[in-house]
Structure formats: C-alpha cells, structure tokens
Structure 1
Amino acid sequence: MKTAIHLGAAAAAAALFTATAAMAHISVSGPAFAGATHEASFGVGHGCDGADTYRVKVQIPSGVTSVRPMDSAFGKAVLEKDAEGNVTAVVWTKPTVEDVLPADTNYYKLTVRFKAPDTPFKTLHFPTIQTCRTADGVETTAEWVDTSGDHGSHGTGGDAPAALPAPALMILPPRAPGWNKYTVNEHVHDLSVFKDALIVWAGKAAYSPNPVTLGLIEAEPDTEVLSEIHPGTEIWVKY
C-alpha cells in the first residue's frame, strides 16, 4: 500500500465531486452491503410509448432472502414463490383499470426490503417486466431483463430491442472509516463502485473517483492507473 500521494486537497475536493451516470428506465437504489438488510427502491421513470404503467413484476435473484415488499400508492405487492417457499418475484398492479392514467405522466417508486447475499463486489440483477395500458385498454410490455451490460438502445414500445437493461445492484463489503483491506473474488470492470472512496490501491496501481486525486496518481512515478480488478486481487480502499 502506497501513501506517498498527499490526500488533503483531494479530500476537500471529494466533498464537492458528484459522479453522474445514465439511469435505466427501471432503476434500483444501492449499493447494498454483503450479508446486511437493504431497502431497495425500484424507480419506474416512464411508461411505454406514451401509455401509463399498469403492472410491474420484479424477479428476485437467487441468494436474496427475507424479502418483504411494501405496498405503495401504485398498488399492493404480491409475492410469487417456488416450491421451497423462496420468493422469486414481487408484483405490483394498479387496483383497477380505472386507476390507469390517460397518459404516461407519473414516476413510480416500488420498495422491497431484503437481506443481501454475502457476496462482496458481485452485481445482482433484478429482471423486471413492465406492463403498460392505454386509455382504450391496449396492453404492451417492456422487458427489462438484459444482464449483459451491453444495453444499446433504451427505447420502449413496438420498436424496442428484445431485451432492455435489468436493474442492477452492486454488493459491497462492510467498511470502516480509514483504510480497508479486501480480497476481491469478482471481476470488477466498473470502478464507479468506489465512487465514495478517497483512493483505491491494488499493488502499484491506484484509482480515485476524484479528478484531483486521479491527476496525482497519473503523475506519481512508478504508479499505474487502476482500470479494472481481477478475481483474487488484494486491494486497499480508504473511505
């Protein structure tokens, strides 16, 4: 672990730095922490080609336990389970067709509380089926089920791609203020998972979400910029 880079100015700048990212039409709040209870809110930003959302079915990935959804103004939550009693999906449906709005005007938030699996740095995907309904009763669906990371177009409606990006939630290890040592057992391609860290070290490579600190890393002799983390890598992260 190297400590030669001075973090005083970088830490001050970090307080002002805000990372931005494109959001899918069905988003999920996170990150979650390994083995801990997490309250995830699924945001439904749009309907389908001008039609209001009528039903949302969120599939629960394997390893997620103690699933307890919340009813919302959108509608009551219904659980689907497998033969062993494990929750496999949560479905919210508007109470009646009369509750469907005449146009796509509203944002909806649907919440589930669950225990995250003890799998640090793993990404959980929640494939989601969104059903919309027009004022004259025509139903269409948008399938937010792509887990490849290659999202392409985010359109909805009849010309939509076969699979839209599934809501994705990163699982982080427990942390403490200061330096934290981890062994990463997943391939981490997107280092924005460390967006609230001051700096990350892996051998002679380092990363920071703060542009000031990143500039110091780039200028440091014999230091590489960390761009991805391979399974089995030991890292140090300062929060």
Structure 2
Amino acid sequence: MKAHSPPLLAVAVFLLCQTAQAHISVVSGPAFAGKSQELTFKVGHGCNGADTFRVEIRIPDGVTSVRPLDSVFGKAVVSKDAATGKVKSVTWTKAAADVLPGDTQLYKFTLSASLPDAPFTPLFFPTIQSCRAADGTESTTEWVGTTPHQHDGNTGTTPTEEPAPSVFLYPARTPGWNKYTVDQHVHDLSVFNDAQIVWSGNAAYSPNAATQQLIAKEPDTQTLRELHPGTEIWVKY
C-alpha cells in the first residue's frame, strides 16, 4: 500500500449514496458474503398505471435459510424444491379487494437469508411483478436480466430484459483499513460508494469528488478504474 499524504486522508469521507438501480431494487444496504442478513426489496411503481398485486422473488443458488416477513399484501408463500427442500421463491399476493384503482403506492418486501461466501460478486434475485388495472386487466413485468451490460449504464447497450434486483457481495469489514485480494473482475468501482478510499499499488479511487481530485493531483499516483482477478487492495471504511 502506498504511503498517503495527510491532506489526502483528511478529506476522505463516507459517501452514502448508491448508484442507480432497477425499478425493483434491494434497498437494505451493503450485503456481506457468507453472512445471514435481512434483504428488503423496493417496488417503486406498478405497471403502466396499474397497481401491483403480486410479487414473486426467486431465490438464487447458494442462498439458504430463507425466511420471509409478511407484508401489507399479507402472508408470504414459500415455494420449495420437492427433492432438496431448498427455497425456490417467495411470493406475496394482495387480496383482490385491496387492489388499488391506480398506481399510487410504493411497496417493500423483506426476507432474511444466509448469503453465499462469494465476495466481490453480484447476486441476482429475478423477480416477477404482476399488476391489475381498474378494469381487471392483468399484466406482468419480469425483472430477470442478469447480464453485466444490463447493470452498466456506460455501455450504451439496450437491455433485452428488465434488470433483476441485485446485491453486490462484500467481504467482511472492520472500521478503518481492510486488506483484500479480489478474485473477480470488478468493472464498476461504484460498488465502493460507502468506502472512503480504495488503494491498489500506486492507484487509488474514492467515491468522494474532492478526494478523487486530490488523487488525480498526487505525484506518481494513478486513478484506479477497475480491478482484475488476483488484485490486492486496501479499502478504508
């Protein structure tokens, strides 16, 4: 790790905002590899003016010990694989009498789960959103896209599917400096938006604009833009 000048560290502060996410997104904060935690999914809108009446969240491989919370829709229904007992999906369905005449509400759904021990990787939860208009017409949006370009706003590529809600799995952390070896290719360093600064050799990145400007001015220091497998990094939280 490169020795840091006091002015550079003095302005390295937390930046808590998150990058733009799918219209169905995970809003419960950072997720940690190999840990059990609650995940909250936000459904920000209905379908073309129609109210959401059912949400099905599919559970990816490696996620275990799934236990959902009931919601304003009522009780959660868990679907399991008959052979293995693994939870395949969780569905919340609103009673017909509670469906609203229009798309006016924001909904949240929460489940607890044990996450796979795969740090520096994204974890996708394909989600099926069903809506019902005032005249009874039903429609469905499948938020199931899991290819990288669908979560990279800089590619200019039109997604073929709506992006699935996802979390980025971080390794365990402590306040202060943390040393990691990245086993995956990380193209988008905005996954470190809740860190103060990231160092790799003589390259650095910070989500804080003032700190990033100082990095650019620091002698013999490069701007860190992506991480390759096998890269050793230091991250300050």
Give the alignment's TM-score, normalised by structure 1: 0.90
Deviation at 1:18, TM superposition (A): 4.8
Hey, what does 2:34 align to over in structure 1?
A: 35
Deviation at 1:173, TM superposition (A): 0.6
Structure 1 residues not aligned, in runs of 5+: 153-160
Distance 1:119 1:151 in 2: 21
Deviation at 1:198, TM superposition (A): 1.7
What is the one-letter code of the residue matched to 1:208?
A: S
Deviation at 1:186, TM superposition (A): 1.2
What is the one-letter code of the residue matched to 1:118?
A: D
Hey, what does 1:209 align to over in structure 2?
A: 207
Query: Conserved in 1, the CA contact under 8 Å of 2:54 and 2:129?
Result: yes
Distance 2:76 2:195 in 1: 36
Matches within 5 A, 1:83-162: 83-94=83-94, 96-151=95-150
Query: Conserved in 2, the CA contact under 8 Å of 1:27 and 1:42?
Result: yes
Query: Conserved in 1, the CA contact under 8 Å of 2:16 and 2:194?
Result: no
Give the % identical residues: 61
Distance 2:226 2:64 in 1: 30
Distance 2:55 2:126 in 1: 11
Hey, what does 1:21 align to over in structure 2?
A: 19
Query: Conserved in 2, the CA contact under 8 Å of 1:56 and 1:130?
Result: yes
1:102-152: CA deviation from partner (whole Å, max 9, x where unpaired):
101111000010111111111100000100011221110001011124349
Distance 1:50 1:20 in 2: 27
Distance 1:73 1:234 in 2: 45
Hey, what does 1:68 align to over in structure 2?
A: 67
Deviation at 1:63, TM superposition (A): 0.6
Cα separation, partners in 2 of 1:223 and 1:176, compared to 1, 3 Å: same
Distance 1:181 1:105 in 2: 46
Hey, what does 1:78 align to over in structure 2?
A: 77
Hey, what does 1:55 align to over in structure 2?
A: 54
Deviation at 1:33, TM superposition (A): 1.0
Work out the number of aligned pairs and report it.
227
Matches within 5 A, 1:190-201: 190-201=188-199
Distance 1:100 1:181 in 2: 50
Q: Give the aligned CA root-mean-square deviation in angstroms.
A: 1.6
Structure 2 residues not aligned, in runs of 5+: 152-158
What is the one-letter code of the residue matched to 1:178?
A: G
Distance 1:113 1:19 in 2: 23
Distance 1:122 1:8 in 2: 28
Query: Conserved in 2, the CA contact under 8 Å of 1:144 and 1:163?
Result: yes
Distance 1:180 1:213 in 2: 19
Query: Conserved in 2, the CA contact under 8 Å of 1:128 and 1:144?
Result: yes
Tell me the SS of whatever aligns to 1:215: helix
